[in-house]
Amino acid sequence: MVCFQLLLFGGVASAQTLFNGTFPPQEFADRRASVMDAISDGVAILQGATEYPAYVRFRQSNHFFYLTGVEVPRALVVVDGRARRTTLYLPSRNERAERSEGPVLTPGGEAERLTGISTVRSREAFADDLARVLEAGRIVFTPFRPETLAAGTPSHAVAHASASEEDPWDGRRSREKIFIERLGSLVPGVDIRDLDPILDRLRVIKSAREIAVIREATRISGTAILDVMRSAKPGMYEYELAAIGDFYFRRHNANGPAYFALVATGENAHYPHYHASQSMLQPQDLVLYDYAPDYQYYSSDVTRMFPADGRFDDDERERYTVYLRLYQALMKAIRPYVSPGEVIGAAVEEMNKILESFRFTNSKNKTAATRFVDRYRRGGGNRLGHYVGMEVHDVSAAFDVLQPGMVFTIEPALTIPEDRVYVRLEDVIVITETGYENLSAFVPVEPTEIEALMAEEGLADRVGP
């Protein structure tokens, strides 16, 4: 079990500062300095998320949080590359709201102390200040892509914004498009460029503290999966297993889920993103469980499969075991300073040996395993996995060379489409200077270990129906 302790920096100045204390102010300052280096003489401008029109906890947009740590709705930040200076703009104090919800972060010395940003001004000053900064015709960088919030990914945000704008009965434009128009009208002719590629590149390599937070998110996810395995029984419903994850997420102070619960029993697992969670577990089913928290603005992504009745039958064991050995061959080939294609090339050599030596009793399992290896052989470096970070499918989808500080998953699937059979595991990998670390290694994958765990008492057994 991974041990972890979060250190809060800056203390708590009031009942609710709305500045996240997981990272020290210097880490946010270092990130902004990297942006200044990238934009040179330019100016980066970001708007934070708005409050939700509902009784739900506010969550900042990921890019804004990444640079500031500020969790105040409708905040703005200006990062000046020429002056090497950052200015944060916060809404003015709302005494009525404070009487209802408690003190919040507002412009002034306390905000400057907590955030480490030397200038914190009222949001009302933003337009006049910006006009003075941009009057010399400098380049402005701002995100073009719609913001990602809780349980969001860049691809989902873009798809949703496009669908809304193109819908003849909707037509809403993204906040980003409107913001860019407003900037252009404030300073006509200003050169506005996309900040997303710069921030995406910075976010690929995680700091030690980011990895520590992802490690804790993975520990929470994995601990929930352990209890799900202990609790699962035929006759339970998928939503009951999802509820165990929800309990662990909230118990460990997660903001909520990083994505909807993928709990799929039997043939439901054939749909990679099945999330209805309404089916009853049957004795002959294998259950797929893929669920992780949104913890301190970072995610994890761990998947396990297990038999609903606690025992793999012979055919399930054969199919699962050959998949597991191929999966482990891929993981063992991972190392720093090589391309994904080189990893896959080394893995395929080992996979071929596994296919040759494995004693199949079911020809369909052999065909599926052979097809699994062939996909890697043909797919080259495009099938290694996806980054994990502030989003579960994190920014910068393309892999180049594996470098220390990269965090990603591997999640290959073995399928028998005609029988609607689907087998998939998923682990969270951190590249190190000497190899890799599997953050989710404590969650068992061997059939005998899974069966032993499922014989233990689980949370659902203790709380009853």
| pLDDT above 60: residue 331 | yes
Among 289, 263, 237, 235, CA closest to 444: 289
Q: For residue range 115-126, list pLDDT tens digits in order.
A: 999 999 999 999
Residue with tokens 């000497």: 434
- Please give the pLDDT value at position 400: 85
Q: For residue range 386-420, list pLDDT tens digits in order.
A: 999 999 999 876 778 999 999 999 999 999 999 99
Fold (CATH) for 208-463: Creatine Amidinohydrolase (3.90.230)
Strands 76-80 and 85-90: antiparallel
- Please give the pLDDT value at position 1: 32
Q: For residue range 426-461, list pLDDT tens digits in order.
A: 999 999 999 999 999 999 999 999 999 999 999 999
- Please give the pLDDT value at position 383: 65
- Please give the pLDDT value at position 147: 86
Q: Are 368 and 414 in contact (CB under 8 A)?
A: yes
Helix, strand or coil for residue 90?
A: strand
Give 252-296 as a DSSP string.
TT--EESS--EEEEGGGGGSTT-----PBP-TT-EEEEE--EEBT
Residues 6 or more apart whose CB falls under 8 angstroms from that of 224 comprise 244, 245, 247, 248, 249, 291
Whole-angstrom distance, CA of residue 43 vs CA of residue 59:
25
Query: pTM (2 decimals)?
Result: 0.94
Q: For residue range 126-164, list pLDDT tens digits in order.
A: 999 998 888 777 899 999 998 887 777 888 888 888 888
- Please give the pLDDT value at position 120: 96
Grade residue 5 by pLDDT with cuts at 50, 70 and 90: very low
Query: 193 — phi, psi (to 5°)?
Result: -125, 165
Q: For residue range 364-385, list pLDDT tens digits in order.
A: 999 999 999 999 988 755 568 8
- Please give the pLDDT value at position 4: 35
- Please give the pLDDT value at position 56: 86
In the chain, CATH 3.40.350.10 sits at: 25-204
Fold (CATH) for 25-204: Creatine Amidinohydrolase; Chain A, domain 1 (3.40.350)
Q: For residue range 262-294, list pLDDT tens digits in order.
A: 999 999 999 989 999 999 999 999 999 999 999
Among 272, 217, 252, 219, CA closest to 391: 217
Among 33, 17, 149, 19, CA closest to 86: 33
Among 78, 98, 71, CA closest to 35: 78
The DSSP call for residue 414 is E
Q: Where are the alpha helices (DSSP H) in 18-167?
A: 25-39, 62-68, 95-101, 109-115, 126-134, 154-166
| pLDDT above 70: residue 7 | no
| pLDDT above 70: residue 85 | yes
Residue with tokens 């980066």: 44
In the chain, CATH 3.90.230.10 sits at: 208-463
- How much is the mean pLDDT over the chain? 92
